[in-house]
Amino acid sequence: MTDIALIVDDSAVNRQLLARHLAGIDISAREAGDGRAALALLRELDGQVGVVLLDVVMPEMDGYETLEAIKADDELRHIPVIMISGVDELDSVVRCIRLGATDYLPKPFNPTILAARVRASMTDKRVHDMELAHAAEQARLLETIERQKEELSRFLSPQVAALVSTPEGEALLAGHRREATALFADLRGFTTFSDQAEPEEVLNLLREYHGAMGRLIVEHGGTLEHFAGDGMMVFFNDPVPQPDHVERAVRMAVEMREMFAGLSAKWARLGFELGLGIGIATGYATLGRIGFEGRYDYGMVGTAVIVASRLSSAAEGNQILLNPRAHAAVEQLVAVEEVGALQLKGFARPMPTVNVTAMTTAAATIA
């Protein structure tokens, strides 16, 4: 609260007179006999003073010096200061206003005018304090939102975490249809490994695998739908549009395979033989929020998702299999080998499929 007026005057009689007038309008007052005492009292009251009534002529530290000290202090400068002085000279008035005084009333003062000036000044101070509190609350809210986004991004793709607190994101979360590229990846030999290894070894291997692949997903702008044991699903071109979404998916898959080679060599020395199979498919799909109240994911639903999953299951270790649409989008960028027409589960006709053996062009800039 800022309902206290501080009276600063070296005359005890003047201070008592002002205090009585303020009491008549339900404003409590504190008193100081000189500028130094006033500054000490302002700091002691720490934001409770709503207005200072300041005399000009005082010993040791006069009103000008006191006013200047108040306005130079970041903690005090917003407190309104009304000069009340017998020095009724224009130069004195101008000097005080330039130093930051809110008003200048001559002695003897008019009680009605004094009451009006004091009330107006205290109202201004309250409004200022409310604005500061609001600004501080807004800053705290923004900090909280950013912290929540950061925490969410530990569990969601960064792109999806960013949607949560935006109006535009709510529309995307509701569901929409667009062309997108889905990528599935899982480990060959993982079932045998998990049957033979200790649970701690399985968990440590998955953490290392997920950590390495997760960094590549972020670097290439992929949206991670989920990790599921040794498998993962990533899609591109949503929620952030990416004109080069097929290229991004294929380049990421090639880098995954290269990174996995180092991991698999390390695991082989420990007696674990594992490979990585990847399937990529492009097509139109519905994307948005899926799940139930209290547990939502951001997902992609459509034939391309099923095809990518089936291709991943069909891939041998270190293969990256593409459906025809994905291959057509990047055929100038990749070297491939024909795998032939694969009969994928759930599809009536065999699907022509290629395996990416290498990228043939320099990496594009991934934004």
pLDDT tens figures, 261-283? 888 888 888 788 889 999 999 99
pLDDT tens figures, 291-302? 666 656 678 889
CB burial class (10 A; 0-12, 13-18, 19+) of residue 85?
buried
Task: Say how many CA atoms lie within 13 Å of 103 toward its Cβ.
Answer: 20
Task: Say how many CA atoms lie within 13 Å of 13 toward its Cβ.
Answer: 1
The pLDDT of residue 325 is 96
pLDDT band with cut points at 50, 70 and 90 for residue 159: low
Longest dimension (CA), the chain: 105
The pLDDT of residue 155 is 45
Cβ partners under 8 Å of residue 80, min gap 6:
50, 51, 52, 102, 121, 122, 124, 125
The pLDDT of residue 294 is 60
The pLDDT of residue 32 is 92
Beta bridge partners of 281: 182
254: pLDDT strictly greater than 90: yes
330: pLDDT strictly greater than 90: yes
How far apart are alpha carbons 271 and 156 in whole angstroms? 33
> Can you list the domains of the chain with their CATH numbers?
4-133 (3.40.50.2300), 172-359 (3.30.70.1230)
Would you give the distance in Å from CA 110 to the centre of its chain?
A: 54
Cut 0.75: pTM above it = no
**Mean pLDDT over the full length of the chain:** 85
